[in-house]
């Protein structure tokens, strides 16, 4: 029972795209590239878009929901959905459990969970909570322990992913609490998070190992 030979589709934002915050990132350093040999997958598709939020806001048209609505191809044996940090940083309203309004975070996650599982009912879908953000002061982006412009902490967005996925029995990996990388520890931030928000090659490698362990624990295939 392993991921050997399986295809993995990774739907995400800059943390999937491979942004390191200093202009030298890309798919070549992303966790999506580094996870492939760890799990021996036959194919890992990087569907990350820098700055993408799960929820819809008027200033952009590349949210997870809008990309989903435009028919993005997530074909794979495993579909990994990793987002939420930009919803926190850019103050997407949280909303309430049960909402179907994709302009709220609850509504967006609900739309994505039901839509992706509905379109790919045989795939093994796993959602990841956003990692703790150290914020980027020069861009006005708050760290996880400060409230955003709608009065929410990042933890609320992570908990929304967990709550909605639990409602639909969709597996999750809680990177907000267990990524193994802390922006509060200067030595780790310097090594793994150059700008406090995005990851270095070593940081993405550390995430790749954590995500690989989670996927191996949560997915199942016949050998």
pTM over 0.95: yes
Pick from 15, 11, 7: nearest CA to 204:
15
Q: How far apart are CA 208 and CA 212, in angstroms?
A: 6
Q: How far apart are CA 153 and CA 145, in angstroms?
A: 6
For residue range 160-190, list pLDDT tens digits in order. 999 999 999 999 999 999 999 999 999 999 9
Start-end of H helices in the chain: 14-17, 31-39, 64-69, 85-89, 105-119, 154-167, 175-178, 186-192, 201-218
Q: How far apart are CA 42 and CA 78, in angstroms?
A: 12
Residues composing the chain: 223
For residue range 77-125, list pLDDT tens digits in order. 999 999 999 999 999 999 999 999 999 999 999 999 999 999 999 999 9
CA atoms lying within 13 Å on the CB side of residue 23: 0
Q: How far apart are CA 35 and CA 205, in angstroms?
A: 8
Q: Which pLDDT score, from 0 to 100, does residue 5 have?
A: 94
**CATH of region 7-218, choose from 3.40.50.460, 3.40.50.1110, 3.40.190.290, 2.40.10.120:** 3.40.50.1110
| CA angle centred on 49, ends 8 and 103, rounded to 5° | 105
Q: What is the DSSP letter of 142?
A: P
Q: How far apart are CA 198 and CA 69, in angstroms?
A: 27
The two structure tokens encoding residue 81: 């959905």
Which residue carries 């590239």 as its tokens? 33
Q: Which pLDDT score, from 0 to 100, does residue 1 have?
A: 55
Each domain of the chain, given as residue ranges in start order, spans: 7-218
Q: How far apart are CA 164 and CA 186, in angstroms?
A: 33
Under a CB-based contact definition with an 8 Å cutoff, are residues 198 and 181 in contact? no
3-state class of 9 per DSSP?
strand
- Predicted confidence (pLDDT) at residue 138 exceeds the cutoff of 90: no
- Predicted confidence (pLDDT) at residue 223 exceeds the cutoff of 80: no
For residue range 17-74, list pLDDT tens digits in order. 999 999 999 999 999 999 999 999 999 999 999 999 999 999 999 999 999 999 999 9
Q: Which pLDDT score, from 0 to 100, does residue 173 have?
A: 98
Under a CB-based contact definition with an 8 Å cutoff, are residues 41 and 60 in contact? no
Q: Which pLDDT score, from 0 to 100, does residue 137 have?
A: 86
Other residues' Cβ atoms within 10 Å of the Cβ of residue 149: 12
């Amino acid at each position: 029972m392993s991921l050997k030979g399986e295809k993995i589709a990774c739907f995400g934002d800059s943390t999937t795209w491979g942004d390191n915050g200093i202009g030298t990132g890309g798919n070549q350093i992303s966790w999506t590239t580094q996870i492939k040999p760890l799990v021996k997958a036959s194919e890992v598709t990087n569907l990350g878009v820098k700055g993408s939020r799960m929820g819809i806001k008027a200033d952009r048209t590349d949210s997870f929901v809008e990309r989903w609505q435009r028919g993005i191809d997530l074909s794979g044996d495993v579909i990994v959905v990793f987002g939420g940090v930009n919803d926190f940083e850019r103050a997407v309203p949280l909303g309430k459990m049960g909402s179907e309004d994709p302009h709220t975070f609850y509504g967006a996650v609900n739309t994505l969970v039901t839509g992706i599982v509905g379109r790919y009912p045989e795939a093994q879908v796993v959602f990841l909570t956003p990692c703790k953000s150290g914020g980027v002061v020069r861009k006005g982006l708050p760290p996880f322990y400060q409230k955003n412009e709608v009065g929410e902490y990042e933890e609320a967005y992570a908990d929304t992913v967990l709550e909605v996925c639990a409602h639909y029995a969709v597996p999750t990996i809680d990177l907000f609490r267990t990524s193994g990388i802390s922006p509060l520890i200067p030595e780790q931030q310097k090594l793994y998070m150059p700008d406090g928000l995005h990851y270095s090659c070593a940081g993405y490698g550390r995430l790749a190992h954590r995500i690989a362990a989670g996927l191996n624990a949560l997915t199942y295939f016949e050998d």
